[in-house]
Amino acid sequence: MDNELQGRTAHVAAIRERAEAEMKAIGIDETFIGKLVDTFYGRVLAQPELGPVFDARLSGRWPEHMEKMKSFWSAVAFRNGAYGGKPVQAHLGVANMTPELFPKWLELFAATLDDIAPNDEAKAWFMATAERIAKSLTLSLFYNPALDDPALKRA
């Protein structure tokens, strides 16, 4: 291995170790991520506005989606590269997806964390992360530069 590659490998390992330590300090482990994903998507399905939007797209593919979401949260929490998908592309063309659904998603996520998170710090970490990603997905999916036109704002 050349020096540059060695340096990069050490850097990635250091990032991962730090993430693991940070998550451990606030009580987040793989078992909790599994429980969170199972509980949250169970509630998503039962929520009258979110449930049908998810189920229309995922009917017959729920087990695969659950595994993907566990890998996704594991990758975000532990920086372990467990997830290699493309979230923006995955949400393109989801029928009846609207920006208004995002606050509902976040509200349900917060309520789920209130019930099962090991402590307030863990809830705060998941919420800050989900809010950041929700904002970024909302912009990628719905941002329309025309609506930022100052002329429109004056009108």
CB of 84 to ligand HEM, least distance (A): 8
Which residue has the CB atom at the shortest distance from ligand HEM?
A: 85
CB of 29 to ligand HEM, least distance (A): 19
Residue 129, amino acid: T
Q: Which residues bind ligand HEM (CB under 6 A)?
A: 53-54, 57-58, 65, 68, 72, 85, 87, 90-91, 94, 97, 101-102, 105, 130, 133-134, 137
CB of 105 to ligand HEM, least distance (A): 4
CB of 97 to ligand HEM, least distance (A): 5
Neighbour-count burial for 98-126, b at 16+ CB within 10 Å, e otherwise: eeebbeebeebbbebbeeebeeeebbebb
Q: Which is nearer to ligand HEM, 35 or 65 (CB)?
A: 65
Q: Which is nearer to ligand HEM, 95 or 155 (CB)?
A: 95
Sort residue 8 into left (φ over 0), alpha (ψ -120 to 50) or beta.
alpha
Q: Which is nearer to ligand HEM, 2 or 100 (CB)?
A: 100
Q: Which is nearer to ligand HEM, 9 or 129 (CB)?
A: 129
Tokens of 10: 């050490």
**What is the per-residue DSSP string for 70-124?**
HHHHHHHHH--------HHHHHTT-TT--TTHHHHHHHHHHHHHHHH-SSHHHHH
Q: How far is CA 147 from the centre of its chain?
A: 27
